[in-house]
Amino acid sequence: MDIYINPFFRRHPSEAALVGHILASFGEIELSICAIAANAHKLFNPVMSTLYSIRTTSTRIETALRLLRPAAELYSLAGLLPIVSPMIWHCVKIRNQYAPCNWGDGPEGSGGGLFFADLQVSADNPNFSHDCKHIDPPLLQEQLQFFNDAMDWSNFADGKSGEGAGSKIELLAKPSLSDRPPLHNPPAEHVSPWLNEADTALHVAKAQAAQGGPPTPTVKQLELERARAAKKEIRRLHAERSSGGSSTLPPEEKI
């Protein structure tokens, strides 16, 4: 059966499979940290029921981590929470950027790759412009490996808490530390191929500003210039229509 909901993933099957794997894996990481908190308090079912009655993921994880803190000293977790907690939160960031986003790519054969954007961020931008971020299979593989490492650390912490509680279980080997992967590829090096000249300049300026130091011209200046250009084009089309020329602009269109 052909599915046409997201044609971009049809053109980028490797990225599609990896993003799907990341999103599907996150629930297991979330479950693992909740289960450690429940086991640490020896109230598995009540604690799990309470945590999963919380409807927002970030609040659920924050609550589970808070529940773990008072039990950390008792169950040999004091040295592990500063490792596990940041890893879990980075997994949250990766998952949260993909779950609600929309996708796009350039013309076939353009080599631009695959981009995503959060339209809730676009709503705060002038003219609903999109802050498109680029991903590729090597980056997604790195992110998925980090999910796997976070799960290993969570399982190790679960084993340590069981050991501290007196359970006779075989403790897993302590995982190695891993660096946090970037959320996306560098924006200054990956510009959406469908952007016009003004939008490209704005994209690069924002990327440079994010790297440190104000760009020249500044992002605000570029946004103002683009808004002025849009207004000028609207006036031109209105004038063309008024003089008898054709225009596809609706009469009520305003900026």
Full pLDDT tens readout for the chain, 255 residues: 676 788 889 889 999 999 999 999 999 999 999 999 998 888 999 999 999 999 999 999 999 999 998 887 777 788 889 999 999 999 999 999 999 999 998 766 556 789 999 999 989 987 888 889 999 999 999 999 999 999 999 999 888 776 544 454 556 788 999 999 999 999 888 888 887 777 777 777 777 777 765 555 555 666 666 666 677 767 777 777 776 644 444 444 444
Termini Cα distance of the chain: 43
Could you state, in order of their start, the residue ranges of all structural domains in the chain?
A: 7-190, 195-255
Helix (H, G, I), strand (E, B) or coil at 209: helix
The Cα–Cα gap between 91 and 95 comes to 6
Alpha carbon dihedral 17, 22, 24, 30, in 10-degree steps, equals 180
Phi, psi of 4 (to 5 degrees): -115, 10
* 24, 124, 213, 253 from 205: Cα distances, Å: 35, 17, 10, 29
The Cα–Cα gap between 230 and 249 comes to 13
With 0-12 / 13-18 / 19 or more C-beta atoms within 10 angstroms meaning exposed / middle / buried, residue 27 is exposed
